[in-house]
Structure 1
Amino acid sequence: MSTEARPERASVRLSARTVALYAIGSLGTGGYATLPGLVLTYFLTDNLGVAALAAGLIVTAAKVWDVLIDPLIGAASDRQLARTGSRRGFMVTGGLALPAFFALTFAVPPSWGPVAGAICVLLAFLATATAFSLFQVPYVALPAELTGSYDERTRLLGWRVVVLTAAILLFGAGGPALRNAGDDPVTGYLLMGIASGIVIGVGMLIASRTAAAAARRMSSGREVETIPSTWRDQYMSGFRALGRSQPFRALLGTFVLQALATGTMLAGAQYVATWVLRSEDAVTFVFVALVGPALLATPGWTLIARRLGKERAFAGASVLFTIAAASLVLALWAPGPWIYASVAVAGIAYAGLQSLPMAMLPDVITHDERTSGRGQAGTFTGIWTAGETIGFALGATAVSLTLAATGYVSTVAGETVDQPDAAIAGIVLSFSVLPALLMIASLLTLRGYRLRRDDIEAPMTSDA
């Protein structure tokens, strides 16, 4: 790898315009990650009459598809960068295709029956997932190429998470509000799907413009390794990246466990609102309690990371989230508005859980480039996105399995049922104890992450 590009990439301060354009992409990532995780399982079980276990399998199948294609898209994105000098083509394609497929996911009426409805939702969601991956994998690769500065990456990803948490509020609160604005559930879900898909797509297209800035900075003397062309070699390239980079293994393992923990809470939120707080609309207040504090906390986590290091700040956020999640088990005996306070504490921690590992990933990529001579940011982010997808998918699966095991009764739109006490207990446990245990496990894997500020910045200074 040429060393002439390193000092420029390390010293540059990103312009406010570049930071803003990149951050706006989180309208897309936040909307896609939040709304299907929040309402899709519920849409299947309580609107189309699909059994809870089958609903969980549908969501999981779409996520498994993500896992299969993300490494391929990552390698293809690296090839596109080597061939054209930019990753923008895939990002634009994803941004243009996603709105239509997202709307179709929620356009299935109950009159089609649970079997036909489930199949149609699965196909539409598979197409949505493909479009999103075309954007997301190269999008996550860009920070490593926009700047080599340890602190600038924290700044860039910090602002991205500010927009991400705002997007969670927008889609988590606004999506169900749009759903309830229709004259009936069928119209409401369709309205939600169309409006949300358009906003997600616009955010993705705006963020794709930062690929040009990354291409300009990467053009000065950077050599990109020849990327394997066969699908088998592309998969093996990802596994080789995992094998040679110990920091990547530690960070990815931590991130997957935490995605599973937060995915479990996200999938359970609507059920907690409906059956524990006894109001379907209460999910809006749950998201306000989560995202409001997170918006304020993100700059604080950035400051803590500058002072203590990203890895220590990340561990602190993980511990705080664990405590907040565990406290929610008290809802088994005393459900009530106090739940919002625990969710708010989790929201403060969630801001750190989002911004800090994303700021650490470019450091891992830089470390690999320096030690192995390979320029494969897309390969790394393909594996990373697949891991994140696994976590969120298994989170929804864990909730659906818990509901099935505890006797949850599925319904179609307009029907009213009473849930057994065991099902209510399962909902609370999947929203509290399970994510807390997963977060504790993630702290164990985080102990294996050994990169520090000096590992990133000192070699760049010597190169200069």
Structure 2
Amino acid sequence: MALTLMQRAGWGLADMGIVVFVVVKQLLVFAFLTSQLGVPVGLAGAVTTAVLIFDIITDPLVGYLSDHTQSRWGRRFPWMATGAVVMAAGMTGMFAVPAGLGIAGSLTWVIGFFVMATIGFTMVAVPYGAMAGEITQNPRERSAMTAWRMGFASIGILVGGALVPGLAAGMGHAWAALAVSPLIIGAIWASIYLTRRAPRIAQATTVDPRAVITLVLGNRPFMALTVLYGVMTMAIALITAGLPFGALYLIIDSGDTFLSGAARALTTLSLMFAAFVVGAILSQAVWVALSHALGKMGALILGLSLYIVLLVVLFYQLPSVDVTLIAGLFVLAGMANGAYQQIPFAMYPDLMDITRAQSGQAIEGAFSAIWLFGQKAANAIAPLILGGILTAYGWVETTETITVQPKAALAALQVSISLVPAGILGLAIVGLLAFYRPHRVH
């Protein structure tokens, strides 16, 4: 049965709430620790990585439990509804650090609520990803669903990357997080309501954990794509983790370009994310059309290639005093990023169908958990890598947002958010061509 327009759009809506948290944790937590709490950059990177590694452990557990859940609301909805509240509460709490705790106390506070928020995120994201394999088995319909998802995700990126930093600059990080919490919860709950009559597999699976692992790992195209998407995510996570520092130290508004007024009103960081989102929104229909014309893999490789070109251009433009020029590059980067955002998420549910057809088992939650595992591993490692690089070149932490940095540290930052991610994306393209061999359901 074909999905209605409201069901396709409704499924995509949840990602708006999910992405707000994803962007906040990738963009602000590392910078918050080093620029607001005075935590040494190497320690901040290690702490962020440790929490995200813990988060990885919860993915298979939630995937397994959601596959085995049986309720009047189905297998996925109870997890998503509860997780939305846990995620928003944890996100707000980790920024509400009481004064006078010192570095050790502040770290303990942030870690506790960060763990809470990431558990809530897993409770939402794993069942949500599983729904993509349940509610339709039509590859073209999945491309359309994913376009809706990425359209809403772009709004989430705008909120998390532009609105939250702007609010945080005026009212503090905790109040900014609290202000967007209703949007996070509301988007996820509205998605549940709008998809309540979509086709779904309500019967809980009875497969034991060992058999689940065997089935998922036995799907070689899925495992190859999961690893390669994790590689792509590593590149994007490095950019995201380093961008707050880049906006402070590498993009200095001269005050006389077309978007200088917007940079002063929004902050440079918020302006860059707004430009990025504009590009991402403009590209969604384009990538759906290119996926149909070139195939999903061909369109993905094209998008990653364009991304590499833009990152090389960005390297040669930084440092810059022209916020208009850099914002223009971020519009183009957002368009290229649309391929990374959209196409793999339309590819991997197709691969779930292979296992379901061959085994008769509906274990979409397990697949969704492993899919997220690759992304979370990359997001966990990226702050550690960036922190290690900056520490090696003498980066200076501060409690005053900005301070004088060594030239070598600034040069390392410039390379870390441009050429290093470009090289990683190049490796992902090579991996796709060498190792990804999808086959169809018979």
Q: TM-score, normalised by structure 2?
A: 0.92
**Cα distance in 2 for residues equivalent to 1:244 and 1:415:** 49
Unaligned 5+ runs, structure 1: 1-11, 183-187, 460-464
Residue deviations 1:336-381 (CA, integer Å, cap 9, x gap): 4333333222211111111110011110100111123322111110
Quick one: structure 1 residues 237 and 259, their matched pair in 2 at CA, closer, same or farther if it must change by over 3 Å? farther
Quick one: structure 1 residues 141 and 372, their matched pair in 2 at CA, closer, same or farther if it must change by over 3 Å? same
**Cα distance in 2 for residues equivalent to 1:312 and 1:415:** 43
Unaligned 5+ runs, structure 2: 254-262
Name the residue aligned to 2:333: 346
Instruction: Give the residue type in structure 2 aligned to 1:227.
Output: V
What is the aligned-residue RMSD (CA, Å)? 2.0
Name the residue aligned to 2:429: 443
The reply to whether residue 245 of structure 1 matches residue 219 of structure 2 is yes
Name the residue aligned to 2:128: 139
The reply to whether residue 282 of structure 1 matches residue 262 of structure 2 is no
Name the residue aligned to 2:116: 127
Name the residue aligned to 2:256: none
Name the residue aligned to 1:43: 32
Query: In structure 1, which of residues 402, 420, 425 is the aligned counterpart of residue 389 of structure 2?
Result: 402
**Cα distance in 2 for residues equivalent to 1:210 and 1:401:** 45
The reply to whether residue 209 of structure 1 matches residue 193 of structure 2 is yes
- Matched ranges for 1:62-461 at <5 A: 62-81=51-70, 85-109=74-98, 111-182=100-171, 188-209=172-193, 212-214=196-198, 216-218=199-201, 225-228=205-208, 233=209, 236-237=210-211, 239-278=213-252, 281-332=267-318, 336-337=322-323, 338-412=325-399, 414=400, 417-447=403-433, 448-451=435-438, 455-456=440-441, 459=442
Name the residue aligned to 1:185: none
Name the residue aligned to 1:7: none
Quick one: structure 1 residues 416 and 398, their matched pair in 2 at CA, closer, same or farther if it must change by over 3 Å? closer
Secondary structure (helix, strand or coil) at the match of 2:421 reads: helix
**Cα distance in 1 for residues equivalent to 2:378 and 2:338:** 18
**Cα distance in 2 for residues equivalent to 1:224 and 1:193:** 36
Q: How far 1:177 moved relative to its partner?
A: 0.9
Q: How far 1:227 moved relative to its partner?
A: 2.9
Secondary structure (helix, strand or coil) at the match of 2:127 reads: helix
Q: How far 1:334 moved relative to its partner?
A: 5.7
Instruction: Give the residue type in structure 2 aligned to 1:138.
Output: P
**Cα distance in 1 for residues equivalent to 2:230 and 2:77:** 27
Instruction: Give the residue type in structure 1 aligned to 2:33.
Output: L
> Is the 2:301–2:429 contact (alpha carbons within 8 Å) kept by the matching residues of 1?
yes
> Is the 2:34–2:44 contact (alpha carbons within 8 Å) kept by the matching residues of 1?
yes
Name the residue aligned to 2:258: none
> Is the 2:250–2:319 contact (alpha carbons within 8 Å) kept by the matching residues of 1?
no
Residue deviations 1:400-429 (CA, integer Å, cap 9, x gap): 1121111111111x4752001011111111
Q: How far 1:103 moved relative to its partner?
A: 0.7
Secondary structure (helix, strand or coil) at the match of 1:417 reads: coil
Name the residue aligned to 1:21: 10
Secondary structure (helix, strand or coil) at the match of 1:158 reads: helix
More displaced stretch, 97-106 vs 109-118: 109-118
> Is the 1:48–1:109 contact (alpha carbons within 8 Å) kept by the matching residues of 2?
no
Residue deviations 1:174-232 (CA, integer Å, cap 9, x gap): 011101222xxxxx112112112332122222223356334x4436xxx764232xxxx
Quick one: structure 1 residues 332 and 87, their matched pair in 2 at CA, closer, same or farther if it must change by over 3 Å? closer
Instruction: Give the residue type in structure 1 aligned to 2:356.
Output: E
Instruction: Give the residue type in structure 1 aligned to 2:403.
Output: V
Q: Count residues in correspondence.
A: 428
**Cα distance in 2 for residues equivalent to 1:49 and 1:110:** 13
**Cα distance in 2 for residues equivalent to 1:83 and 1:380:** 23
Percent pairwise identity: 27
**Cα distance in 2 for residues equivalent to 1:301 and 1:13:** 22
Q: How far 1:331 moved relative to its partner?
A: 3.8
Q: TM-score, normalised by structure 1?
A: 0.87
